[in-house]
Structure 1
Amino acid sequence: MTSAGRFAPSPSGELHVGNLRTAILAWLFARSTGRRFLLRVEDLDRARAGAEAVQLRDLAAIGVTWDGDVVRQTDRGNLYAKAIARLEQAGLTYECFCTRREIQEAPSAPHAPQGAYPGICRNLDRAELEFKRSTRPAAIRLRVDVTEYTVQDVFRGEYTGAVDDFVLRRNDGVTAYNLAVVVDDAEQGIDQVVRGDDLLPSTPRQAYLASLLNIPIPEYAHVPLVVNHAGARLAKRDGAVTLADLAQEGVPVEGVRDRLLASLRLPAGNLDHALGAFDPAGLPREPWVWPGS
């Protein structure tokens, strides 16, 4: 399988300019290195009716093209189940019955990173396990033997982050993001992951899980976000930030595209034109403040 990059939105609503800028960057990284570019809809948890179609339309409108069919996570449950079964057979999982409140109120384990799961259900005996099974359904957690893991990132260099006994499958049966994304990337041959740097803290977990599943760890490039004037991550509440809203403000899609390219220090025009000038070393390393419509 040839190597690939990808863009993987959640169909929770329209893409805003920050999402579109990341999609352009993922496309440029992949195309500039001869990779395929794939589109995956991460619809396990936050799907809104009609959102996927609007997102695909907007991506095409700004010139993002992709190879092959769009993949949806809700069609891939058997792959996730097989991965969890492998981990279970290796003794690397356990059942967890904790509520969020119980986790928040439990004392942290000594030397555990802040926010780490405190291990309440890690070593339940048979009687405790049987009792808890009678009270509520279990989530499945990964039994880790590290507290941190180091990855390499194009923008951040060496990055070390916390790894705890994170959830693989929620107690409602839905596969957790950290498991699904690792399995999906491996199955699709994705060896380059370009995404917003707000996802960097979860990357050591994903890379560690990939190592347990004997999956090659991809090349990571966590790109700076688009922010509002207060420095917070851009959101739809910040005004006209989607293609539809900006069109109502008199800004055509070509104008949005060119503004996004200018923020990346790339020439205006179609993405193929920008591709000829693309050099990761010349990309800005700071968040970009959306100037508004």
Structure 2
Amino acid sequence: MGERNSVLKADWPSNDRPYEIAFGEGVEQRFQIKFAVAILKAKSRVLPILGIELAGWDVIAVATTPQELVRLALKDTPYSESALKRLATETCSRVNTGNSIYALAVHGLILVCKSPGASVGREITQSKLEDLAAHEFMHLVQFQLAGSASSNDRPDQASAERGPIWLLEGSAQAFANAVAFDRPAWTGRLAAMRKFPDGLPDLNELEHREMRSRAPIPVYFGGMIGAVDPVDKSGFPAIAKFYEILGRRGGWQRAFEEAFGISVDTYYTLFAEMERVNTQGAPLSGWLLRD
């Protein structure tokens, strides 16, 4: 709506107020300023990189406790208090001594929980903020186009509605790399490959949602490699096209083939066999760039 019919674009909520950032009382002002800059950068890169705009109005809640996240999100979102409590608790449970900030996105909402003592420039770098903001903005795009699966859905149903979890998280990683570090997509792929010295994971085993918690490194970084390979061929807009087609509920395998021009089974085989670097570790173009 609005992408195909420009007349309908006039009714987009994002025309007047594309997003709102709500900060909890425990979030210091310097962090608020730096975070707002990261969000603005992520939002500004959606159209140039993905070729699509965010049509909706999104809420971004930032706090140091789950209780404060719920209070902020309840003001401007349609989610129930019980649903927000579950999401906020999950988000803040990921904040610990080794991870001072964590974010979670659902349709129209990003929840960000940070450690009360963590400050920008020491525990949290500006590039980390930009990476986080861009990753979650990619999820907003995915959910805008394809919808957001319910936590009550069966794994196969969630995959059918949102696509495989490796592509959901991998494409968000790839977009974040492009935004936060202003680098070509293949540079992120090269860095991700170093996490798998014994060989890349099997994408076929990383389709269902529960694998995100069971095997986070393969899902996020193996998924990033899996997302960047098609980007080499078709560009980032093909990722947006995949989720747009997925939103029509025709099945993710069909959406994949239509968006990337290759069947899922064929891609899985080629993914495992493709040579991406030479013997010196320098990047190769790979089969996707060869006619």
TM bracket, shorter-chain basis:
under 0.3
So what's the TM-score if we normalise by structure 1? Answer: 0.26
Structure 2 length as normaliser, TM-score? 0.26
Larger Cα-atom Rg: 1
Q: Indicate the structure with greater strand content.
A: 1
